[in-house]
C-alpha cells in the first residue's frame, strides 16, 4: 500500500506534470513524476519513480542542466568537468570574483553561482572596503 504524502501539479503547453511524494508500507519515500501529453483526443502518460537515495543528486543534475541550457545558449560547446568545478571553488575561496571566474571559464555568472551553491559555498560580496578617512593634512 502506498500513500501520497504531497503532490504538486503544473501545466506547460500540451503537457501536464504531476509530482508526488509517495510513502510506502515500509515507511520509505519515493518521488513519482507523471507526465501526461494530450495529443488530439487521446492522453498519453509516462511515469518516473525516483529513489530518495539519489534524489539530491537527481535535483543537482537537473539544476545544472537548467542553468546550462537556459542561461548559456552556447553550452553545447562547453562542459564543466569535476576538475573545473573544483578549480572554481578553490579560486572563489582564494578571493577571485564570480564575474572573473565566469570570464575565465567562458560560462555565465549564474552557472558559476550555481556550482558554488551546489557545493555548499555561501556567496558573499568580495569587494574591498571603501576608504573612508579624509587625507591627512599637515598644519601650517
Higher pLDDT, 116 or 81: 116
Tens of pLDDT, residue by residue over 62-96, are: 676 566 545 445 544 456 778 888 999 999 999 88
Q: CATH 3.10.450.700 in the chain, residues?
A: 3-50
Helical residues (DSSP H) of 35-124, grouped into ranges? 55-66, 82-94, 98-105, 109-118
pTM as predicted: 0.41
Q: Residue 132 pLDDT more than 90?
A: no
Instruction: Specify the CATH architecture of the domain 3-50.
Output: Roll (3.10)
Quick: pLDDT tens for 47-58: 777 777 777 777
pLDDT of residue 87: 93
Amino acid at each position: 500500500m502506498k500513500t501520497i504524502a504531497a503532490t504538486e501539479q503544473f501545466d506547460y503547453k500540451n503537457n501536464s506534470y504531476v509530482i508526488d511524494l509517495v510513502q510506502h508500507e515500509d515507511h520509505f519515500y519515493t518521488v513519482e513524476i507523471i507526465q501526461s501529453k494530450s495529443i488530439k483526443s487521446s492522453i498519453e502518460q509516462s511515469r518516473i519513480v525516483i529513489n530518495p537515495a539519489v534524489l539530491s543528486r537527481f535535483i543537482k543534475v537537473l539544476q545544472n542542466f537548467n542553468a546550462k541550457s537556459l542561461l548559456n545558449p552556447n553550452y553545447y560547446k562547453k562542459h564543466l568537468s569535476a576538475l573545473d568545478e573544483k578549480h572554481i571553488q578553490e579560486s572563489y575561496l582564494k578571493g577571485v570574483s564570480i564575474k572573473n571566474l565566469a570570464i575565465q571559464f567562458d560560462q555565465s555568472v549564474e552557472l558559476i553561482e550555481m556550482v558554488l551553491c551546489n557545493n555548499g559555498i555561501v556567496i558573499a560580496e568580495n569587494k574591498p572596503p571603501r576608504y573612508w578617512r579624509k587625507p591627512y593634512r599637515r598644519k601650517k
